[in-house]
Structure 1
Amino acid sequence: MNILYGVPGEGMGHATRSKVIIDFLLKEHNVQVVSSSRAYQFLSKSFPGRVHEIKGLHFAYKNAQVSTLGTFLLNLKSAPANLLHNFSKYLMIDKSFKPDVIISDFESFTHFFAKQHRIPLISIDNMQVMERCILDIDIPKEETNNYRLAKTIVKAKVPGAKHYYISSFFPADIRKKDTSIVPPIVRDAILKAEVSNAGHILVYQTSSSLSGIKQVLHQIPNLKFYVYGFNKDEKDKNVIFKTFSEQGFVNDLASAKAVIANGGFSFISEAVYLKKPVYSFPLKNQFEQFMNAAYIEKLGYGRHFDELQADSMKAFLYDLDKFANKLSAYKQDGNSQLFKALQKQLKDM
């Protein structure tokens, strides 16, 4: 079967989980991939000759939050050239590759291609939980507009799929047909990781614009912090910045006492899988991150705070044993549930 797989370029979580699924699909199918930005670079190395570069949207950050105006201006400036590039890529794929089915991880190019050619479309992502399920968390007044906007975007992103597989570390009641919830997709390095507790805290930042992080962490001098996301190697007292390497990152995560992060789904899912308590302070103006952080606290896997502060850190550390006890009950059989469901779905097409 010929499969066209779409992966967005913003945020590496889409790319790392899509790689796991593409590896599985390639055992029986011919897969071609479209992606952009860092995700394209990552996937093209993993699947040489199978990945086609398109131009996608990008977020602009300021002071560790999404800048609405900056994001609009950033994408407006590049829109004409991006549309021309994507149209030429569309014509090339249309001529050289005839997909039997299309899979989209919250990616628009493949959705458009599927609709234009009336090809069955499967959605695999974590975002559709906002639109197709009932959220069992309190949504404060200040998050209401972000929730409405996020839900509108999600609803419009990949409509009309034959089936929606929603990857989630938390349970949710499904409210729409043709929808299934599956556990988070976990990469092989995490599945094979040896879990321990070396006593350090791993800090992961998707936005390097967060200022003052060292000053906060210096206020807890008895703990060592490994910090990823700033693209530098530097040591300052108990704070050690590290440039990214997959194996080094996985080793530090698997041996961490706990983790500190924003609200990104993929990292939080990996922390939960490895049973690491989570201090989550989501990026502002991103409801999906708020939702993930809220569920971390609801499930007792950690705490949800508005920002990174020393006093909040101390409160989080005080309850680590309680969080670890809750996490000990989390169970997931690797990626088997999604793989079995996807295999059956493809056979039935």
Structure 2
Amino acid sequence: MRILYGVVGEGMGHATRSRVLLEELSKEHEVHIVVSGRAKDYLAKRFQNVHGIWGFTIAYEGNSVKKWQTVLQNVTGAVKGWPQNIRQYFELVEEFKPDVVVSDFESFSYLFARNHRLPVISVDNMQLINRCKHDPAMLAGFEDDFETTRALVKSKLPGAFHYLVTTFFYPPLRKERTTLLPSILRPEIIDAKSEQGEHLLVYQTSTTNAALPEILKQSGLPCRIYGMRRDITEDLHDGNLVYRPFSEKGFIDDLRTARAVIAGGGYTLMSEAVYLRKPVLSLPVQGQFEQVLNALYLEKLGYGMYAPELTLERLRDFLQRVPRCQEALHGYVQDGNKLMIEALREQIARAAEYKGRWWEEFEQAEATKG
């Protein structure tokens, strides 16, 4: 079977989890990949038939999203980017005729599918925002952000044949054609043996919180810090703090042996920490409600704590909670990627049977609702 697989390039989480599924699909099918941003280089090293396209980007300043800068840089990028995407489109039309499209929150592959009347299988964590019910009490104070984000997510891949949604929390469904499944994990995480250490693993790319190092020093615990000193090529020691250059192997080793994790609200690292049963103090990027929602559910389950910013009081509160979080995490169970791979294979087989009929049936159903 021929599969077109789209991967959004904003952030590397989409690429690392897509790599897992692409490795499985490539064993059985002919797969072409469309991807933007840094994710292209990551996937091109591992797979053939990787097509680079222009994609949406987000502008940051410190630990918050700059909304107007994001709009401006994407308008500018679209002037050059869309012609490139159209060129890629015609190349695919001539050279590759897919039977099914899989999209990890990526629009080009979705539009390709819609224009060619092909079924789309959505694989991501974002659709949970729109396709599940969320407790109003938990969203109190975030109602406007939630509705804005839900509208954006809803508009991203409407009418997909099926939505496979990765998650470590399971709110009730409110939409059909939706399956909640455990997080997609890199083989390196599945193979990692979780051990109890004393250090805190800190992953922060923001440099605006000048008080962060001093707060961490006052914890009295060894802290292994990634992301804050991207200029270093070897460990830099500062009292109980160790700034480390990024190394996938070193990072995973520090994660599996950590006492706890301090990081943003990104889904990938959070889900890996949950799998390895490491409590997380989550500091979401301001302006990204998806990260806030991840953190709120993390806290609701007792797996960690949400904090809009790091203070010494919040850090001390979190460290006191760590034993209770470890106990809660002890009940988390996941059999690697088995359920996700089985579900994806099943939906691909079902979608291939529909092929040209799917959009007609969907549009008829929508017209009936209207």
Q: TM-score, normalised by structure 1?
A: 0.96
In the alignment, what sits opposite 2:132? 133
In the alignment, what sits opposite 2:341? 339
In the alignment, what sits opposite 2:285? 283
Number of aligned residues: 346
In the alignment, what sits opposite 1:42? 42
Q: How does 1:225-304 map to 2 (within 5 A)?
A: 225-230=223-228, 231-233=230-232, 234-304=236-306
Deviations 1:107-149 (A, max 9, x none): 00101000011111100000001111111361133x2222111
8 Å contact from structure 2 (residues 36, 52) kept in 1? yes
CA RMSD of aligned residues (A): 1.3
- 1:106 equivalent to 2:108? Answer no
User: CA distance change for structure 1 residues 166 and 208 in 2, over 3 Å: closer, same or farther?
Assistant: farther
8 Å contact from structure 1 (residues 6, 34) kept in 2? yes
Measured in 2, the distance between the counterparts of 1:2 and 1:235 equals 51
Tell me how far 1:63 sits from its aligned partner.
Answer: 2.8
In the alignment, what sits opposite 1:184? 183
SS at match of 1:173: coil
8 Å contact from structure 2 (residues 107, 156) kept in 1? yes
In the alignment, what sits opposite 1:201? 200
Measured in 2, the distance between the counterparts of 1:210 and 1:61 equals 14
8 Å contact from structure 2 (residues 121, 348) kept in 1? no
User: CA distance change for structure 1 residues 210 and 124 in 2, over 3 Å: closer, same or farther?
Assistant: farther
Deviations 1:279-335 (A, max 9, x none): 011111111011000011100001111101121111111121110000000001111
Unaligned runs of 5+ in 1: none
Q: How does 1:140-159 map to 2 (within 5 A)?
A: 140-141=140-141, 143-159=142-158
Measured in 2, the distance between the counterparts of 1:58 and 1:280 equals 23
SS at match of 1:140: coil
SS at match of 1:71: helix
In the alignment, what sits opposite 2:328? 326
SS at match of 2:13: helix
Tell me how far 1:26 sits from its aligned partner.
Answer: 1.1
Deviations 1:57-101 (A, max 9, x none): 111111311111111122122220011111111111111111110
User: CA distance change for structure 1 residues 252 and 40 in 2, over 3 Å: closer, same or farther?
Assistant: same
**Hey, which bits of structure 1, 4+ residues long, moved more than 6 A?**
none
Measured in 2, the distance between the counterparts of 1:140 and 1:66 equals 22
Tell me how far 1:213 sits from its aligned partner.
Answer: 2.3
User: CA distance change for structure 1 residues 232 and 240 in 2, over 3 Å: closer, same or farther?
Assistant: farther
User: CA distance change for structure 1 residues 110 and 209 in 2, over 3 Å: closer, same or farther?
Assistant: farther
Measured in 1, the distance between the counterparts of 2:207 and 2:28 equals 40
Deviations 1:215-258 (A, max 9, x none): 221222x2111111232433222222222221111111111110
Deviations 1:138-192 (A, max 9, x none): 1133x22221111111001011110000101001111111110000001100000
Measured in 2, the distance between the counterparts of 1:22 and 1:211 equals 41
Tell me how far 1:104 sits from its aligned partner.
Answer: 0.3
SS at match of 1:46: coil
The amino acid that maps onto 2:44 is: S
| Greater relative CO, 1 or 2 (CA 8 Å, sep 6+) | 2
Unaligned runs of 5+ in 2: 353-370
- 1:24 equivalent to 2:24? Answer yes
8 Å contact from structure 1 (residues 63, 211) kept in 2? no
Measured in 2, the distance between the counterparts of 1:291 and 1:69 equals 23
How many percent of aligned residue pairs carry the same amino acid? 43
Q: TM-score, normalised by structure 2?
A: 0.91
Q: How does 1:51-130 map to 2 (within 5 A)?
A: 51-130=50-129
In the alignment, what sits opposite 1:12? 12
Measured in 2, the distance between the counterparts of 1:311 and 1:225 equals 17
Tell me how far 1:271 sits from its aligned partner.
Answer: 0.3
Structure 1, 210-219 or 323-332: larger mean CA deviation: 210-219
Tell me how far 1:208 sits from its aligned partner.
Answer: 5.2
Deviations 1:13-62 (A, max 9, x none): 10000000001111111111111111111111111x32110011111111
8 Å contact from structure 1 (residues 101, 121) kept in 2? yes
Structure 1, 203-212 or 125-134: larger mean CA deviation: 203-212
8 Å contact from structure 2 (residues 121, 347) kept in 1? no
User: CA distance change for structure 1 residues 43 and 207 in 2, over 3 Å: closer, same or farther?
Assistant: farther
8 Å contact from structure 2 (residues 164, 178) kept in 1? yes
